[in-house]
Amino acid sequence: MPATNIALNKIEDFINSNPLELIYSNEDPATYLHCSGTRTTPDLLLASNDFSEHTQYKIMDNPGSGHKPVIASITIGSKSMTRKVPTKLSWNFKKADWSRCTNLLENELQRSPLNFNQHPDKLCDRPLNFNQHPDKLCIDMIH
């Protein structure tokens, strides 16, 4: 596997495991001109989910170094600005209905059986989301 794929996978894992969004458009111009003449965009702008809708960026003109600076700005204090994620979210396992949780998990696994011949990342056709529906919660959440 080429080094760029390893780096890309690490970045993707980091983004997927944190409440961050990548602020990027394929239509933006490249931000780096390599001496060989190839153009790339090595600059990644990540914003918290709370601020991603209020985050803008501008690619500045080349200052002569071959690397165009990217200026990010976040509009704070907007009336439409609402938090998407509570500041602290945790599971209350002491109040869990474990038998209900087991039944929900077994039902989900019957609907989407696991294929153990695949890579572990590809075991399920779709994410198991029995805990995302408020009417099906078996573990209480504390905000």
The model's pLDDT over 50-67, given as tens digits with 9 standing for 90+, comes to: 888 888 888 888 777 788
**Cα 68–Cα 22–Cα 31 angle in degrees, nearest 5:** 15
Two tokens at 63? Answer: 């200052």
Inform me whether the pLDDT recorded for 44 exceeds 60: yes
Inform me whether the pLDDT recorded for 1 exceeds 60: no
Question: For the whole prediction, is pTM greater than 0.75?
Answer: no
Over the chain, what is the mean pLDDT? 73
pLDDT on residue 89: 54
pLDDT on residue 98: 81
Higher-pLDDT residue of 9, 93: 9
* pLDDT tens-digit series, residues 59-96: 888 777 788 888 888 887 755 555 555 455 566 777 77
Inform me whether the pLDDT recorded for 111 exceeds 70: yes
User: What percent of the chain shows pLDDT beyond 90?
Assistant: 0
Task: Choose among 132, 143, 70, 130: nearest CA to 101.
Answer: 130
Three-state DSSP state, 137: coil
Q: How confident is the model at residue 143 (pLDDT cuts 50, 70, 90)?
A: very low
Task: Choose among 82, 60, 55: nearest CA to 71.
Answer: 60
